[in-house]
Structure 1
Amino acid sequence: MHSTLILGTTVAAAAVAYALKPKRPKTELEASAVPIPLVPSYLPLQLDSVLGYIISTLAGMDEMEFLRNITNKYGNTINLRGLNEDFVVVLDPSSVQHILAKNQPNYEKGPQFQEIFHEFLGSGIFNADGEVWKTQRQLARPHFQTSEFRDAALINRHVDQLIKVINKRIDTAPNASLDIQNLFCRFTLDEATDFLFGDSINSLEHEDSEFSTAFNYAQSITAWRFRVPLWKYLVPKRRFLREIKILDNFVYRIIDNALERQEERDKESKKNHETETEKHNGGHATLLDHFLSYQKETEFDREYLRSMLLNFLLAGRDTTASLLTWTMWHLVQRPDVVARMKEEILQVLGPNAVPGYDDIKKLKYQKQVVNEVLRLCPPVPFNIRQSIEEDVLPNGYYVPPKTPIAYSAYSTHRMPELWGNDVLEFDPDRWGPERVGSIRPFMFVPFHAGPRICLGQNLAYTTAQVTLTRLLQNYEIQPVPGFKPEQLGDIVLFSRNGMQVHIKKKSLIED
């Protein structure tokens, strides 16, 4: 996107916004509350701030650190107004709790958010409000209960394939570095599509699959829609719609096959109490099968099912890949942490045993490591709501109606006043029994919180811990000299330049 084009359209948008924005008289509540501090801007309609942000983003700016630096300078509740439109950011736990839990009904995704995501995610759970969201969550919750994946068999099946791919790479190029982020994205896509659809993409075997390419492109373009004024006219759409069509063709094929299976199950269930659903994957239905079991009550159509499945895929695939990627980055910097993790694995499992769900629960230090990665590198570093009615935050600041209000787990997790002067240090002992009690509610929100807390957080922990255990049992992982990841905060926190590591085969017993 050309910066001159962005400049011209932004100026035009600013003029229109200024001309059409109605003047709103102060309400009684507003008059009695404190206005949220504005981040200084020196041109009319905050054009310097808007253009500076867009151009810096195009140039590869670290947006997470950009926001953290602003809040460090101007406070933990700020108004990043642009084009005369308010955009509130809150970091303190009491305000985050107010938005996500205590007054959650007043803060929804809102029409602007939904319009940006609609072509990609439709009216699925990630993009829905009100009764639509409640219905989908109530239906999905049972499938994400711990009992659905206690034996971790599905996860281990895909870790087996991940290990095969890594071994092949080592045998082919033993001294070359490996982009472990790329592998984790393909691994979690395979696992997530298997868990959700019962039909894995197998992207570990076929790296450049149409589906994975389309899915990645759709996320990237959707993220840019948040950044650019008049995005409908500036952000590329022709290819975007072609890639969405690829996603649709795949998902609708899966849905149609599942509908056929459902018809067969309905016929069979009249003859036998044990249905195919109960037999599937050792007694575990897919999420799609789970939804279809309620079809007669809810009358889902194919489009509704398509939206739900893509929403859960977005929520489950990249977030776990992000967690594993940043865990690798921190581990290659800290051989002392790796040594403690390996010692614990040997005590609990030995050098070769494949971990099950009950085994993972015994790896206490490993869980501390994962939590510390989630603190410093939350997979969803930034999230947005919109106020419905006017409100006052616990710290006394006034929120106007219909105002975008964002919270940043990334920034909250790095506040010295909450976590101490060593806030930027990677320290898993922060989560040990001696210190964990000092972590207050809503200080730590990697999976969000309140009624919309992530349904798949237990699955994310289990996937991450099973995968880490297996990798540490089989390999020695070392840093690549001179490599440093560049944070990219689109929808999910990744590294713009991948995650390069050196990896070689080594039995855990040899350490």
Structure 2
Amino acid sequence: MHKNLILGTTIAGAIIAYALKPKKPKTELEAKGVPIPTTPTYLPLQIDGVLHYILSVLAGRDELEFLRAISTEMGNTINLRGFNQDFIIVLDPSSIQHILAKNQPNYEKGPEFQAIFHEFLGSGIFNADGEAWKTQRQLARPHFQTSEFRDAALINRHVDQLIKVIDNHISKSPDAPLDVQELFCRFTLDEASEFLFGETVNALELGNTEFSTAFNYAQSITAWRFRVPLWRYVVPTKQFLREIKKLDTFVYKIIDNAIARQEKRVMEQEQQPGDGKHEMKEGYDTLLDHFLSQRSEHGFDREYLRHMLLNFLLAGRDTTASLLSWTTWKLTQYPDVLAKLKQEIAEVIGPDTVPGYDDIKKLKYQKQVINEVLRLCPPVPFNMRQSVEEDLLPNGYYIPPGTPVSYSAYTTHRLPELWGEDALEFNPDRWGPERVGSIKPFMFVPFHAGPRICLGQNLAYTTAQVTLTRLLQRYDIQAKPGFEPQQVGDIVLFSRNGVEVLIRKKSISKF
């Protein structure tokens, strides 16, 4: 994206904002509240602050550490004001609890958030508010509650394919590094698409498919829409819409096939009356089948189903890939943790036993490791809401109506006043019985919290634990000498340059 275009757009946005911003007298609640500290700027309409942020992102600066540095200087409630518009960040657990739980109806995704995601996600659960969100969540919840991945069969099928890809890499290039981030994105795309659609994308086998490439492009453009003022006129649209059309072609074909199967099944049941129940292959129903079973009652059309499926795919695919990628990296940096984890797997699961759902629940230390990765590398590092009406936070700070209010799990998870002087250190023992009691509600929000807490968090834990167990049973992993991942805080926390590791097969005797 050209820097002069960014500069011109920013200045134009500042002029428009200044001209249109209404001046209002203080309300009674505002008079009672405390003004939120605002980041210092030196030019009218905070143009210098806005430009500094955008150009630093374009230059590859770490946005998340940028925010953490500001919070260290200014405290845990900050107003990143620009163009005379408030953009509030809250980091303390009491404020996060207020926004996500205690006064949750007052903090919606909001019209601007929905406009940014509209072409990509439509009115699906990730992008919905109010009754639309409630209905979708109520309909989806039973499927996530009952699909405990019995015997983790679906996950293990895709791990089998993952192992084939890794073995092929080792046989062809045994000393070459492997980008596990790219590999885990393909793996979780296959797993999530089968879980949701009943049909896998086959990204592990085929590489970067048209669907996966379009999906990645749509996410990238959507992330820039959040960053750039007047994004409707600056961020590319034509190519974006072409990629969205590719997603639609793929998803609508799956929906139409599923509808045809359902209609055929209903016809067969009418001809041979029974109890009305049916079984999918291996006794497993997909989320799509779950929604289709309620289509006549709720009037779902093809577009509604498309929105739902892509929303859950975004939520489930990249977040789990991020978790697996950062877990792998952390284990290469902490060989003592890796050795302890391998020992637990050897004692609890065995050297080559394929773990089931009940097996991985016995891996207590592994769960501690994953929680510590989620603390330092939360898959969704930053989340945004918008106030409906004016409000006061528990700490007395005033929130105007219609104002973006965000929280950053990445920064909150690193606050020394919450996590101790070793807050920046990777230490799975903080989740052990001696320390876990000090972790209070809303200190740890990798899956959000309150009514909108992630429906798929159990799926994420299960996938990560099954996959990690089987990979450590089979392989030795080491860091690539001189490699350092460059985290980027887009919609999901990934590394800009991948996560490259050295991976080799191990002998059973070494386990």
Quickly name the TM-score band, shorter chain normalised: over 0.9
| SS in structure 1 at match of 2:384 | strand
Using the TM superposition, name which of 212-221 and 22-31 deviates more: 22-31
3-state DSSP of counterpart to 2:469? helix
Distance in 2 between the 1:369 and 1:357 partners? Answer: 18
Aligned to 2:125: 125
1:174 equivalenced with 2:201 (yes/no): no
The Cα of 1:272 is off from its aligned counterpart by 4.6
1:151 is displaced (CA, Å) by 1.4
Q: Deviations over 1:416-457 (max 9, x none)?
A: 000000011100000001110000000000000000000000
Q: Identify if the C-alpha distance between structure 1 residues 70 and 508 changes in structure 2 by more than 3 Å, giving closer, same or farther.
A: farther
Alignment match, 2:50: 50
Q: 2:141: which partner in 1?
A: 141
Q: Is the 8 A contact 1:181 1:325 kept in 2?
A: yes
- Following superposition of structure 1 onto structure 2, how do residues 242-391 of structure 1 map, counting pairs within 5 Å? 242-270=242-270, 271-273=272-274, 278-391=278-391
- 1:434 and 2:437 matched: no
**Stretch moving more, 11-20 or 265-274:** 265-274
Residue pairs, 1:21-170, within 5 angstroms: 21-170=21-170
CA distance in 1, matches of 2:207, 2:464: 21
Tell me what 1:463 maps to: 463
1:454-507: CA deviation from partner (whole Å, max 9, x where unpaired): 000000000000000000000000011110000011100000000000000014
Check whether the contact 1:473–1:507 (CA below 8 A) recurs between aligned residues: no
Could you tell me which residue of structure 2 aligns to residue 486 of structure 1? 486
RMSD: 1.0
Cα distance in structure 2, aligned partners of 1:173 and 1:207: 17
Kindly provide the amino acid, as one letter, of the partner of residue 503 in structure 2. I
Seen in structure 2, the aligned counterparts of structure 1 residues 254 and 274 have a Cα distance that, compared at 3 Å, is farther
Q: CA deviation at 1:13?
A: 1.1
Letter in 2 for 1:489: G
User: C-alpha displacement at 1:274, in angstroms?
Assistant: 6.3
Task: Look up the equivalent residue of 1:45 and give its one-letter code.
Answer: L
Partners of 2:150 and 2:353 in 1: CA distance: 16
Question: 1:66-85, CA deviations, whole angstroms, 9 ceiling, x for partnerless residues?
Answer: 11111111110010000000
**Matched residues in 1 for 2:278 and 2:352: separation?**
31
Aligned residue in 2 for 1:418: 418
Is the contact between residue 114 and residue 127 of structure 1 (CA under 8 Å) also seen in structure 2?
Answer: yes
Q: Could you tell me whether the CA contact under 8 Å between 1:472 and 1:508 is conserved in 2?
A: no
1:39-94 deviation per Cα after TM superposition (whole angstroms, max 9, x unaligned): 11110000000000000000111111011111111110010000000000000000
2:61 and 2:207 map into 1 onto residues whose CA distance is 28
Alignment partners' CA distance in 2, 1:27 and 1:304: 41
User: 1:362, 1:418 → 2: CA distance?
Assistant: 28
Aligned counterpart, 2:192: 192
How far residue 508 of structure 1 moved from its aligned partner, in angstroms, is 4.7
Distance 1:417 1:508, change over 3 A: farther
Q: Given residue 150 of structure 2, which amino acid in structure 1 is its aligned partner? A: R
Counterparts of 1:52 and 1:269 in 2: how far apart (Å)? 64
1:268 to partner: Cα distance: 2.4
In 2, Cα distance between the equivalents of 1:262 and 1:502?
46
Post-superposition shift, 1:165? 0.2
Q: Describe the shift of the 1:274–1:354 C-alpha distance in structure 2 as closer, same or farther (beyond 3 A).
A: farther
Deviation at 1:286, TM superposition (A): 0.4
TM-score (norm 1): 0.99
Provide, for residues 380-403 of structure 1, a one-character-per-residue CA deviation record: whole Å limited to 9, x for no partner. 000000000000000000000000
Bigger mean CA offset, 373-382 vs 11-20: 11-20
In 2: Cα distance, 1:81 partner to 1:125 partner = 29
Give 1:14 shift.
0.5
> In the alignment, what sits opposite 2:401?
401
Structure 2 gaps, min length 5:
none
- In structure 2, the partner of 1:495 is 495
Q: Percent identity?
A: 75
On the 8 A contact 1:196/1:309 being kept in 2, the answer is: yes
Any conservation in 2 of the 1:148–1:284 contact (CA below 8 Å)? no
Comparing 28-37 with 458-467, greater Cα deviation is found at: 28-37
Give, in whole Å, the separation in 2 of the partners of 1:508 and 1:384. 48
Question: Secondary structure of 2:151's partner?
Answer: coil
| SS, match of residue 152 in structure 1 | helix
Counterparts of 1:97 and 1:201, CA distance in 2: 38
Q: What CA deviation, in whole Å up to 9, does each residue of 1:255-311 have, x standing for no partner?
A: 000100110121223325366x74213212100000000011100010010000000
| TM-superposed deviation, 1:147 | 4.2
C-alpha distance 278-345 of structure 1, shift in aligned 2 (>3 A): farther
Shifted more, 85-94 versus 24-33: the winner is: 24-33
Kept in 1, the 8 Å contact 2:390–2:398? The answer is yes
Equivalent pairs counted in the alignment come to: 510
SS in 2 for 1:145: helix
Contact kept? 1:342, 1:508, Cα under 8 Å: no
In the other structure, the counterpart of 2:230 is 230
Q: If the length of structure 2 is used for normalisation, what is the TM-score?
A: 0.99
Q: Aligned AA for 1:95?
A: S
Runs of 5+ consecutive residues of structure 1 not aligned to the other structure: none
Given that 1:475 and 1:508 are in contact with CA atoms closer than 8 Å, whether structure 2 keeps it comes out as no
Match of 2:504, SS?
strand
Structure 2 Cα separation of the partners of residues 273 and 78 of structure 1? 62
> CA offset at residue 509 of structure 1?
3.8
Contact 1:413 1:443 in 2 (8 A): yes
How far 1:208 sits from its partner (Å)?
A: 2.1
Distance 2:365 2:16 in 1: 56
Task: Confirm or deny: 8 A CA contact 2:148 2:459 kept in the other structure.
Answer: no
SS where residue 205 of structure 2 aligns? coil
